[in-house]
Amino acid sequence: MGRTTVGPVPCPAPKDGTVISSAFSPPFSRCLAAGALSLGLILSGCTTSPGAPGGAGDPDVPAVSLQQSGAVTGVFDGGTGPASLAASSAFFESSPAAVVLGAANPAASGLAAAAAAGLGVPLLVVEPGNEEQVEGELERLRVDSVVLYGAPAEGWPAVAGDRTQVSGPADADGFRTVLDLEVVPAEASGAVARIAAMDRGEPIAVPGLEAAPAQTAVPETDDSETEVPKDKAPAQELPEFDAAGNRAEAIVLATEDPASAAAVATARAAGAEVRMVEAADPRVDPATIEALRSHRDGGIYAVGDGFGGAETFAAHSDVALNAPELPGGGQTVFPGRRMVALYGHPSGGSLGVLGEQGLEESIRRAQETAAQYQPFSDEPVVPALEIITTVASSEAGADGDFSTETAVAELLPWIEAAGEAGVYVILDLQPGHSTFLNQARRYEELLKFPHVGLALDSEWRLAPGQRHLEQIGSVDSAEVNEVSAWLAELTRENVLPQKLFMLHQFNSSMIRDRDQLDVSHSELAVSLHADGHGTPGEKLDTWNVLRTGLQPEIWPGWKNFYDEDTPTLTPEQTFTQIDPKPWFISYQ
């Protein structure tokens, strides 16, 4: 066609565990044909020579060539346009053709996705301000022909240049004659999932084929500066090229976020597996964890802002690949399960029901208690032990903190036996004049177990001059945030599943500045445990007060007392009379 192709741009080769994102910095937005996206630079496709193989058939017929990224983790985010560019850069080394969509025409997105997935070529989305980036990606791919859907505000010349322009077909006959693809009508719902199921060489399901208006690649205009000359008018059929002879060794996670549709289409065009997930977190679903592990040596990607960016997704994927699952399955605490726990200390029954029997009997009792809740729960109900690890004391003790610290060696058999039995464990701290962080650090060895969480009992956190049982203790949000930051780092550095981080409260003064609690650590599931006793009405009143102003990220929990409650709620009452249904229930 007489175009000048842009030469290779040096860029580093990927290494195992490379983290990539579609985000890029303005100073690099003019990285010409290599693509402005950092993703494209990292994957080093820009260094391949123009004659790279990849298709099949006549060597004189241009062919699509795919990237093989290896063990790379990345996120295609930042919105529809940036995500589409990032996916193209991740999966395609070169392509004689590409589908280009003007974002101002969302009605054409399903048709554009069908065309890209069916042809096995990238889908790029033009948005205001990214025209140069799209043009740069077309150059990097060495695209000769573009299939155009819905013109952007400036028209196609600014993007398509002198490439062969093909009007994107809008009906089944057009797909057959212009693109040589078979399509069938489909329902309009579940657009991203439908695109995820598309495959090159197979009939493509496209919604609204009969009702779709004919698409015109170049809009009518009176502006002589943007009008396309007649000899550059859109062609009526796509020039011949060969699809890639292989498939991308990668898996892509996606939700039903419309902004991810174009990137998903590009992934399917490259033959990558696209897995639809309800939650934008690879740790949530056991089946997703298994799917990722089957792609351990290939690329692992996600589409959409909900996955938290490249660094967060890489950390979560690392957990999915390498950490054990929690009791009940998956690697996030809630909402994949509810928990029912026995509370107390192994030394005896005076501190709660956990100590009323031995280790094996306590595990069995926890399992039996949790099983009573299962008929009333849609989620698995997991048994748990909440062990008072540091016990509030009337005596100052050798260290003067009015708290007796249980030895790690004494607790270790309980934690190991619970893990073997599929029982979760929470270490409960009653620090007296110590701090929660100082006491938590004593038990770092135990908190490295994947099935062990942490609870802070602020009733027993004393200020200078205070003594237990003379007043209700309290803690400020700053101290709680120090502990949550430390626990989140410990969880992240040791590649552990998410941990339960529980805060006991039955009085509004027990946690000062509660609205300033940091609930942003994805390594932790923060729960507020309403642990007051009394009549059901009194307890529900406290429950409603404590929930007022509670951050939506915090999971509410509840305590039943065998002796102090009048009467003790049954499992059915606990799960049907308390609104919302508590995620964690303990018994004392």
Judge whether 262 and 109 are in contact, CB under 8 Å: yes
Query: What share of the chain has pLDDT > 70, as a percent?
Result: 85
The pLDDT, as a whole number, for residue 235 is 55
Give the mean pLDDT of the chain.
Answer: 86
Question: Which residues does 537 contact at the CB level (< 8 Å), separation at least 6?
Answer: none
- If DSSP codes are grouped into helix, strand and coil, which group holds residue 322? helix
Per-residue tokens: 243: 């699809």
Residues 195, 444: Cα–Cα separation, whole Å: 46
Per-residue tokens: 58: 């006549």
Per-residue pLDDT, averaged over 10-29, amounts to 38
Per-residue pLDDT, averaged over 39-52, amounts to 34
Q: Is residue 105 scored above 80 in pLDDT?
A: no
The CA angle 348-352-358, to the nearest 5 degrees, is 45
Q: How confident is the model at residue 125 (pLDDT cuts 50, 70, 90)?
A: very high
Question: What letters, b where the CB count within 10 A reaches 16 and e where it falls short, cover 327-364?
Answer: bbebbbbbebbbbbbbbbbbeeeebbbbbbeeeeebbe
Q: Is residue 40 scored above 70 in pLDDT?
A: no
Q: Look up residue 327 and give its DSSP letter.
A: T
Per-residue tokens: 334: 């809630």
Per-residue tokens: 254: 């996606």
Q: Is residue 277 scored above 60 in pLDDT?
A: yes
CATH 3.20.20 corresponds to the domain 342-587: yes
pLDDT 10s digits, 516-570: 999 999 999 999 999 888 999 999 999 999 999 999 999 999 999 999 999 999 9
Single-letter residue type at 300:
I
Lowest-confidence pick of 18-22, 355-359, 374-378, 525-529? 18-22
Q: Is residue 15 scored above 70 in pLDDT?
A: no
Helix, strand, coil shares of the chain, percent, nearest 5, are 35, 20, 45
For tokens 């994927």, the residue is 317
Q: Could you tell me which of 374, 489, 416, 518 has the C-alpha nearest to residue 387?
A: 416
Cis peptide before 567 (omega within 30 of 0): yes
The pLDDT, as a whole number, for residue 232 is 44
Residues 269, 92: Cα–Cα separation, whole Å: 10
Query: Domain segments of the chain: what residues?
Result: 18-49+66-322, 342-587
Q: Is residue 227 scored above 80 in pLDDT?
A: no
Instruction: Write out the H or E segment, with its range, that includes residue 351.
Output: none
For tokens 């709680």, the residue is 480
Per-residue tokens: 200: 């090159």
Residues 27, 113: Cα–Cα separation, whole Å: 31
pLDDT 10s digits, 310-348: 999 999 999 999 999 999 999 999 999 999 999 999 999
For tokens 């994805």, the residue is 522
DSSP string, 106-126: GGGHHHHHHHHHHHT--EEEE
Characterise 156 by phi-psi region: left (phi > 0), alpha (psi -120 to 50), beta (else).
alpha
Q: Is residue 52 scored above 70 in pLDDT?
A: no
Residues 519, 551: Cα–Cα separation, whole Å: 8
More confident residue, 53 or 148: 148
The pLDDT, as a whole number, for residue 442 is 98
Find the DSSP H helices in 228-298. Answer: 261-269, 286-293
What pTM does this model have? Answer: 0.86
pLDDT 10s digits, 134-176: 999 999 999 999 999 988 877 888 899 999 999 999 888 899 9
The pLDDT, as a whole number, for residue 43 is 34
- Residue 293 has a CB neighbour count (10 Å cut-off) of 11
Q: Is residue 80 scored above 80 in pLDDT?
A: yes
343 - beta bridge partners? 386
Query: What share of the chain has pLDDT > 90, as a percent?
Result: 73
Q: Look up residue 228 and give its DSSP letter.
A: P
Per-residue pLDDT, averaged over 70-81, amounts to 93
The pLDDT, as a whole number, for residue 44 is 31
Max distance between CA atoms of the chain, in angstroms, equals 94
Characterise 210 by phi-psi region: left (phi > 0), alpha (psi -120 to 50), beta (else).
alpha
The pLDDT, as a whole number, for residue 208 is 64
Q: Could you tell me which of 262, 316, 321 has the C-alpha nearest to residue 295?
A: 321
The pLDDT, as a whole number, for residue 215 is 44
Per-residue pLDDT, averaged over 432-453, amounts to 98
Find the DSSP H helices in 4-79. Answer: 38-43
Half-sphere exposure of 188 (CA within 13 A, CB side): 9
Q: Could you tell me which of 336, 322, 378 has the C-alpha nearest to residue 496?
A: 322
At 355, give phi and psi (nearest 5°): -90, 5
The pLDDT, as a whole number, for residue 378 is 96
The pLDDT, as a whole number, for residue 502 is 98
Per-residue pLDDT, averaged over 188-206, amounts to 85
At 264, give phi and psi (nearest 5°): -65, -40
Question: Which residues does 267 contact at the CB level (< 8 Å), separation at least 6?
Answer: 87, 91, 248, 250, 252, 274, 301, 303
- Cα 319 to Cα 101, 254, 451, 514: the distances in Å are 36, 18, 14, 30
The pLDDT, as a whole number, for residue 356 is 97
Pairing of strands 403-405, 381-392: antiparallel
